[in-house]
Structure formats: C-alpha cells, structure tokens
Amino acid sequence: MRLVIFGPPGVGKGTQASRIAERFGIAHISTGDTLRQTIRSGSPLGVELRGYLDKGLLAPDSLVADIIERRLIEPDCRPGFILDGFPRTIGQAHTLDALLKKRRLLLDATFFLDADDDVIVRRISGRRVCPHCGRSYHVEFAPPRVTGICDADGEDLEQRPDDQPGSVRKRLQVYTEETAPLREYFANEGLLVPIDGTRSVDEVANAIVAHIERYIVGSAH
C-alpha cells in the first residue's frame, strides 16, 4: 500500500500518518522529521538546513529527493509506506513519479487534509514537540500526562522554531503557492481523497481508514 498525505502546515498530517502506518504495518516517511534529525545532529548540512526550516522555507529539492530515494529502498517500505510532507511541490511530484516508475510501483491514494487558516494557527500555536524523540503534543487537544514533559522519555517539550508566528505566516504562503497546486495534480491522476481536517483526530483517522479498507486493502497491487 503506497500513500501520500498532504495539506496545510499544522493540519495533523504527522499525527495521522503515524496512526495509519502503525495500523496497516507500513513505513511512515516524514521528510520534516528526517530534516529535523539532521539539524539535531549538528552536522554542517544540519546547520545549512536550519536556515531553511526555521524561516519556514522549503529545503532544496535535490536534498529532499535524495532522502526519499534512499528511504524507499529500506526493508520496512516493502509492505508499503505513507509519505508525509513529500511531495510538496509539483516538481517533487514529478520526482516521486519517476522514482516509483523505476520500481514499477503505483500510488494507491493521496489524502488531502484541509482546514481553514484560523484552525491551523490555533493548532500550530499549541503544538509542542519532544526534541529527543520527536513526539508531538498539543497543549489543548493532546496534552502530555505532565505539563511540558514528554510521556515517552521525560524530556522537556519545546515549540518548533518554525511554529513561531513569523515562520507560520511564511509556511502558509509557501503552502498556498507551492503545495496547494498538488490538489489538482493528484485529482487529474485520479488519486485525490479529500478529508475534512477540522474534525477530531479520531474522526479524521476513521475517515482515512474507511477509505483504505474500502478501496485499497485486498486490491491487486
């Protein structure tokens, strides 16, 4: 099963992708998480990447394509994968097409999670992440057991630098200009599955699972 999830920043792509990956035993591939890990490593590349991410700008295409190409051949991708944060531009969609064609693979669906800007800003401003394991929380909708502390490893939670208001505005602009056109692109491919991202985490997950179980699980490829 090969899936893509996309939509505006902060709409809940990561949360949903990790649920779907766990439920169906497929790999969760998040370019954002991989880039943040590289930044945490403190390597020269990480320092360069920080300049893009903190400002809400897209990382260079070649670098992101390289991440995806290496990741798709890892064994955990054999049963399938859900791409979270890639493709983010029409150019990246063409790159993905070429990578899949090379392996004679097809996408099964692209889930488009949508929500209005006011919902997004509320979700992003309450988001907190663990700098150690990357787990994501929300002060209002998904708080940790102890305020400000990661349930998994006891680290102090932080706000992503790109979740600060200035970067959020930039990310929304980049989304509108670069990523939103993917809706039409995937609709033309017959792959677009629009999902109302304003509903609760469970309701959104149920809508995605219902589509997968109805149209994908048990199908030929």
Give me the catalytic one of 36, 50, 128, 171.
171
Give the C-alpha separation, 117 to 127, whole Å.
15
Binding of residue 56 to ligand AMP (CB under 6 A): yes
User: Does 171 participate in catalysis according to the annotation?
Assistant: yes
The answer to whether the beta carbons of residues 39 and 49 sit under 8 Å apart is yes
Which of 80-88, 126-134, 188-196, 208-216 is the region at the interface with ligand AMP (rule: CB under 6 A)? 80-88
Sheet of strand 109-114, all strands in order from the earlier edge strand to the far edge: 27-30, 81-84, 2-6, 109-114, 192-196
Residues binding ligand AMP: number (CB under 6 A): 17
User: Does 160 participate in catalysis according to the annotation?
Assistant: yes
From candidates 7, 8, 12, 32, binder to ligand AMP by CB under 6 A: 32
Burial 96-118 (b: 16+ CB within 10 A, else e): beeeeeeeeeebbbbbbbbbeee
Residues 87-126 that bind ligand AMP (CB under 6 A): 88, 92
Residue 1, beta-bridge partner list:
none
Give me the catalytic one of 2, 13, 19, 128.
13
User: Does 145 participate in catalysis according to the annotation?
Assistant: no
The nearer residue to ligand AMP, 93 or 192, going by C-beta atoms, is: 93
Residues carrying an active site annotation: 13, 88, 127, 160, 171
- List residues near ligand AMP by CB under 6 A: 9, 31-32, 35, 52-53, 56-59, 64, 85-86, 88, 92, 162, 171
